[in-house]
Amino acid sequence: MPQGFMIFHLNLAFSSIRTELRPQVIRQCYWPLLHLVERKGLPLGLELTGWTLAQIAELDPAWVQTFARLLREGRCELIGSGWTQMIGPLAPYEANRWNQRLGREAYQQHLGVLPDIVLVNEMAYSTGMVDVYAEAGYRGLVMDRDNVRLALGLDHAPIAATPTHAQGCGDTALPVVWGDSILFQSLQRVVHGDKSMDEYLAYVRRRAERDGTVLPIYCNDAEIFDFRPGRFRTEAALSGDSEWARLEQLCERLEADLGLTWLSPTAVMNAVDQQLPHRAALLSSVAHPIPVKKQAKYNINRWTVTGRDDLALNSDCHRLSAALVAAGNQDPNDWRTLCELWASDLRTHITEERWQQALSKRADFLQKLGLTSSMPANAPRVWQDLNEFAAPAGLEISKDDSGIQLRLRTACVDLSLNLRRGLSITALAFASRDWRPVIGTLSQGYFDSIALGADFYSGGVLLESPVNRERQADLEWVQPEFACSGVQLFIRVRLPFAGGTLEKRLALDMAAERLTLSYHFEGLARPQGTLRVGILTLLHEHLQAPIRLSCRQGGPLAEHFTLDQLATHGQAASTLVSSSAGLGATDGRLCLEDAQGPLLALRWDPGSCAAVPMLTHQPASPHPFTRLKFSLAELDDTAKAGGSLRDFTLELRPN
C-alpha cells in the first residue's frame, strides 16, 4: 500500500503579497490547513519562519493558539526554517547561525515546541548548511529530490539509488525527507483546475508502483490555494469553487482509489534514519554546487544579481554582517534586522512599497553601525605613460617587437599583458609554482574543435544585453598609465563602455606573489542583461589533474569540488534566464589546486561587491577548457530595470 506525506510552506513575507493582504492570507490559506488537520486527521507538516509566526501571532493570535494545541495533541507537526527565509548558501556562517537561533527561539516562545526537521529555504542547498542545521539542533532536513539527483547524475536511475542522508563538510550526516517538484506541481495543477483528478491519480499510481518509497505528495506553498500572490500574469484564475475543498477531495481520492495512507514528516524521517545501511553522500557537484527546486530556470542566481537590486542589497548585507562579527555584537535585535534584510523575498517579485521599506531599513541599519552608504574612493595618484615612467628597482618592464605584449617581472611574479586586447592577461606565473603560467590566454586554434574556435582571454569584461541587442567587451587597443606607491605598482586603462566609462586597474605587488584586478564603472547603470568581469582562463598544459575548487557556501568549512564533469554555470537556462548555476563563496574566497598542491587563491570583499562566481569546465582537446568569471548582473523573471553596479576588486595569489 502506498504511503505519502504533505508539508505546506507558510510565508507572509511572500514577495508579491502586499502588507494589507496578510490577514486575508491567514484567513483564506492558513486556517484551512488547520481545518484539514482537525476534520480529516491529516498529519500535515507546517513550515514557517519565526518572522511569519510572529506576524500571525500579532494579526490572528487564535490561529497560533489553535496550531499550538494541535501540536501538543500530536495531530500535525512544525517544520523549521529560521527567523527569515534566508538563502543559506549565499550568507556567511555567522548570519546563518543567528538565523537558526532566532527562528528556534520564536518557535519556543509562540508554540512551546522545537522542531526536529528543517526545510531547506527555497530548497537552495549546500553541503555547508548541513553543519549549520545540525549545530542548531535539527535531526533531519527536507530537500527537493529532483535537482539533487540531477547533480549526482542519478536523474535516470531508480529512486532507490538516491542517498538517504546528507553529508556535511565533516562527519555530520542528517537524514533527508525528500520532496519532489513534479509531484507538488502536479497537485497544484489539479487543485487549480488545470488537470483532471483521474489523470493525476493515474500518475501518482505509476509513481507509487515505480518508486516503491513514501511519496512526497506536496512540499510547497500554502498561499496559492484560494489566493493568488500575483507574481505572474499566467497564474491560474480563481474559479469561485473552494480550492481547499478540492484539495480535501483529492486527498480522499488518494485514500480511496490508491489506498494511500498518510505519514507525518517525522515518521518519514525516522524510517529513513532506521533504514540500514545509511547511504550518506554529498548532495551537490561541480556542475550543480547549489541545487535548487523546480526546473533550471529557477536557480541560485535568482537571489544573487537579479531582482530590483540584488547585488547592492547582498553586498550591504555582507558589510553589515562583517561589522557585527568584528564588533563582537551579540544583540539579537541587530541580528534579527540583518536576517530580515537577507530574506529571499526582497530579491524576487517584491512590491514597490515593501521594497522602499527595505531600503529605509537598510539605510537606518548602516547608519546605526556607522557604515557609510558608499565605499571609500581610491587614493589620488600621479599617473604616467610608459615612456615617462621610471621602473623602480626590482621591476623589469619590456615590450615585444610588435608592441602588443607588455611584460612585467619581479622576483615573485611574471606577468604578460596584451595592449591590443584591453590589457588582458596573456600569462601569469608565480615563482613558487616554478614560473609555470596558471592563467592567461588561449589563442584561436589552440583547441581542436570548432566549437571552441575563438580567443579566450583573462582579466576581461563582457556585457551582453538581449534587450538592447548589444554585446560589448573591453578588447581594445590601450595605452596604460603607471603609478607606484611603496611596493605596489599600479596600471590603469580607461575605456568607453556601454555609454559610460570602464576603468580597469591592475596592482602588482613587487615584493610578494600577488596581483589585484579592479573594475570601476562610471556613468553605467546595471544593464538589462549580463555583466561578467574578472574572467580567468586556466592554462591546463601547465597543470596536473585532478583540479579541485573549494569555497564556503554558508557553512563553517569549505566545500570541495573536483573538476571532473561538464560545468556550465553561465549558460542560459532559457531565452529569458541567462544562467543556470553559481557558487556561494560566502567569505569572498575561492581556491584552486591541482595534483601538485595549491594553484590559485582568489579573494574579494563581498561587502564591497557580492559578485557571484561562475565556472565553465568542459572536456576538450588537447586539454580541458576551464574558465572562472564573476557576474554583476544576470537576467531572469525577477530582474527589473534599474539597479546599481558595484566596483569589483579581485586578488590573485598562488595560495
Q: What is the pLDDT of residue 276?
A: 79
Same domain, 295 and 325: no
Surface-to-core class of residue 49, CB atoms within 10 Å of its CB (0-12 exposed, 13-18 middle, 19+ buried): buried
Q: What is the pLDDT of residue 467?
A: 83
Surface-to-core class of residue 139, CB atoms within 10 Å of its CB (0-12 exposed, 13-18 middle, 19+ buried): middle
Indicate whether 455 belongs to any domain.
Answer: yes
Same domain, 567 and 643: yes
Blockwise average pLDDT, block size 10, the chain, 655 residues = 96 92 96 96 98 98 98 98 98 98 98 98 97 98 96 94 97 97 96 96 96 94 87 53 94 97 97 90 98 91 97 98 98 98 96 96 96 70 92 95 96 98 98 96 97 97 91 96 96 95 97 98 93 98 96 98 97 95 98 96 98 98 98 96 95 96
d(CA 645, CA 32): 44
Same domain, 356 and 427: no
Indicate whether 162 belongs to any domain.
Answer: yes
Domain final residue pick, 267, 282, 300: 300
Indicate whether 375 belongs to any domain.
Answer: no
Q: How far is CA 133 from CA 85, 96, 183, 585, in A?
A: 14, 9, 26, 19
Same domain, 352 and 391: no
Same domain, 405 and 361: no
Q: What is the pLDDT of residue 376?
A: 61
Alpha-helix residue ranges (DSSP H) falling in 484-634: none
Domain final residue pick, 300, 331, 348: 300
Range of the domain at 495: 384-653
As for how many domains the chain has, the answer is 3
Same domain, 38 and 158: yes
Same domain, 193 and 68: yes
Indicate whether 581 belongs to any domain.
Answer: yes
Q: How far is CA 158 from CA 151, 161, 525, 636, in A?
A: 15, 6, 48, 32
Residue type present at position 413? V
d(CA 308, CA 16): 13
Question: In sequence order, which residues have a C-beta less than 8 Å from that of residue 179 and are 6 or more positions away?
Answer: 7, 123, 142, 143, 144, 145, 216, 219, 220, 293
Indicate whether 17 belongs to any domain.
Answer: yes
Indicate whether 625 belongs to any domain.
Answer: yes
CATH number of the domain within which 152 lies: 3.20.110.20
Three cell numbers, residue 535: 574572467
Same domain, 511 and 586: yes
By C-alpha distance, which of 482, 463, 609, 595 is closest to 540?
595
Same domain, 443 and 591: yes
Indicate whether 521 belongs to any domain.
Answer: yes
Q: How far is CA 373 from CA 31, 39, 333, 360, in A?
A: 43, 53, 21, 12
Same domain, 189 and 225: yes
Same domain, 40 and 149: yes
Residue indicated by cell numbers 590559485: 600
Domain final residue pick, 281, 300, 319: 300
Same domain, 108 and 127: yes
Q: What is the pLDDT of residue 212?
A: 84
The continuous run of DSSP H or E covering 32 comes out as helix 31-40
Indicate whether 376 belongs to any domain.
Answer: no
